Structures are given as C-alpha cells and as structure tokens.
Amino acid sequence: MDWSENPAEASRETVEQAIILWRDVRARRLEQEKVANKLKSTEETAKSFILECFKQQKFEGMLIDGRTTGLATKEIPSVCDKEAFMSYIRKTGELELLQFRLAAGAVNERKEEGVSVPGTEYVEVYDLFDRKV
C-alpha cells in the first residue's frame, strides 16, 4: 500500500484496498489483544499476590533460578486534603502542580444541565467503525 498518495486524489479502488487492509490488520490485532489481555490479567493477579506476600511477610526479595525478584518502594505525592490543596493552587497560581486533562463526562453532565464550562469547546474527532450489513 502506498501511503504517500494524496487522500484527496485516491481512487475508489485504493480506498477499498486500504479498508480491506485496515479490517484485516485490526481483526488480527484485536485477536492478539485478547490473548495479551488474558496474559496481563494473570500477570497482574500474580503480581498483586506477590506484592502482598512480600509486604506482609517483610520480604525484600527472592532469588529463584538465578534471577532476583524484589520489592521496590518509592514515595509519590498524593492529595490527602483536596480543599487545602485547591486553596493553595488558588492562592499561589501554581498550576504546574496539576495535570490538565478535561473530564469529558463532567463537562457533558454540566451541558445537559444547561451549564456552559468557560474555556471549553466541542471539537470533531474522527474514528472508523466496521459493521456487518
């Protein structure tokens, strides 16, 4: 497939070939994701069990078959008092303490209630779908 072709000038045949390729690659990826998701679920269950064993039994690690598996700890910041934190942000203006990601669900709820959230807008995004007819 020649992806350098100008989409505005692509023939119907080229678009059909791209759709067939996309469908095939997507179907194969989704099948592989199913397998990967099952593996990940098993991995996460085992990891949670091992973490709890290490924490509750005070293990630092284990040496098995020439490999060491150990418990790594680190401290990360967490908001324990939202009001105090937000008050600090309002007072100092230190917005770099926040990660800006719009909560689309919250904005949509307000829109349904007739409230417009200042500084937001709705933009079109595009995706493909594939359905049997």
Segment 103-112 mean pLDDT: 94
Q: What percent of the chain has pLDDT over 90?
A: 81
Band of residue 18 on the pLDDT scale cut at 50, 70, 90:
very high
Confirm whether pTM is higher than 0.85. Answer: no
* Each residue's pLDDT tens digit, 46-95: 999 999 999 999 999 999 999 999 999 899 899 999 999 999 999 999 99
Segment 87-112 mean pLDDT: 93
Residue 14 contacts residue 5 (beta carbons within 8 Å): yes
Residue 100 has pLDDT above 90, yes or no: no
DSSP string, the chain: --TTS-GGG--HHHHHHHHHHHHHHHHHHHHHHHHHHHHHHHHHHHHHHHHHHHHHHT--EEEETTEEEE---------S-HHHHHHHHHHH--GGGS-----HHHHHHHHHTTPPPTT--------------
Sequence spans of domains, the chain: 7-112
Band of residue 123 on the pLDDT scale cut at 50, 70, 90:
very high
Segment 99-111 mean pLDDT: 91
What average pLDDT does the chain have?
A: 93
| Residue 48, CB-side half-sphere exposure with 13 Å CA sphere | 6
